[in-house]
Amino acid sequence: MRGERRQRSHGGWLKKTVLGVSLAMLAPLGISVAATPAAHAAFDPAGFDFWVDSAEMGPIKTRVFRAADGNTSRVVYALDGMRATQVLNGWENDTNVVGALTAANINVVMPVGGESSFYADWAEPSSILGISGSSSGSGGSSSGSSSGSGAFQMFSGGPGKSYRYTWETFLTQDLRNALRDRLGFQSVRNGVFGLSMGGSAALTLAAYHPDQFSFAGSFSGYLNISAPGMREAIRLAMVDAGGYNVDSMAPPWGSQWLRMDPFVFAPRLIANNTRLWVSAASAIPSGGDVTGVMSVIQGMPLEALALVNTRAFQVRMATLGAGNVTFDFPATGVHNWRNWEAEVHRMIPDLSNNIG
């Protein structure tokens, strides 16, 4: 397929062994969706807070970084992962991608919040056994626990519990229009990319809003969520990441769930001629990935699952004759910010050529 990058071999037996072990570990460990943070960026004073009201979610903060040349026509949205906090977007907190993007004369829009949301319009506020969150407002935890203690937040209030998540509407209407009206940003031919949960969401947004998004990037995304076992894997991950209920997001196997599955809506991306950059690593740790035992224990199975999903999406696109996608499968790497940061740098030329 045009633009595909070939993964270097580390020995077929090794890859199969790592993948098999990782998937076997997924059931007990897959609930831990905490990626190993790079922890070298944090707050970037070059950005500014941009508050926009959402009809159902209240005031939502977005961080905006202006392109180096001051243009308003080249815009990319950077979506966070499942542990999105109410303070900063992970791309700002855990990476240094902003400098490279703005130097490429791209305005960067980083929505803040949306823990476990998949940036979707949910069917209802998250609740367990019909019991919804007890408190109001847009507060809540900044992160679920990597040990599984996010389950203790299942009956708390806060984002997506005291109200219904409507992230797709916010990103494609409220925020889009506010950026246009208040900052003069072009609202068509934008780009969008994300990691893990955000990678799946980026493709969904591009599929259903092709006038807004001409480019979409997914890093370690879950691109075949209707595959056997995926809903339950996501269920466990969402419980751990803040105590959310996947059934409140979309009923099991209904039209709303299928609408969120990139494997299902792949024909839309081809018909729209959306330029795509799709990546997942091998789940084989590199030297830089081994920052502690948990960085490997957590990162390997999550990346292995993302790789299986992404390979399935690759086959689906090939079967449909897609020519609008670049696949990148690094020979080493687990589920962490270090690898996603490197992927952004590889993606920037393609992004730059396909927005504005």
Residue of 32, 138, 196, 214 marked active site? 196
Cβ-based neighbours of 83, under 8 Å, separated by 6 or more = 33, 34, 35, 90, 115, 143, 144, 241, 242
Give the pair of three-digit tokens for residue 228. Answer: 């056997």
Residue of 115, 303, 341, 343 marked active site? 303
C-beta of residue 156 within 8 angstroms of C-beta of residue 239? no
The verdict on whether 335 is a catalytic residue reads yes
Q: How far apart are CA 236 and CA 100, in angstroms?
A: 35
Cβ-based neighbours of 39, under 8 Å, separated by 6 or more = 94
Axis-axis angle for helices 12-29, 293-319 (nearest 10): 110
Amino acid at 127: S
Give the pair of three-digit tokens for residue 66. Answer: 């202006």
Axis-axis angle for helices 293-319, 262-272 (nearest 10): 50
C-beta of residue 295 within 8 angstroms of C-beta of residue 336? yes
Strands 131-132 and 127-128, sheet pairing: antiparallel
Q: How far apart are CA 306 and CA 243, in angstroms?
A: 22
- Tokens 């992004």 locate to 351
The verdict on whether 341 is a catalytic residue reads no
The verdict on whether 345 is a catalytic residue reads no
Cβ-based neighbours of 24, under 8 Å, separated by 6 or more = none
Catalytic positions, please? 196, 303, 335
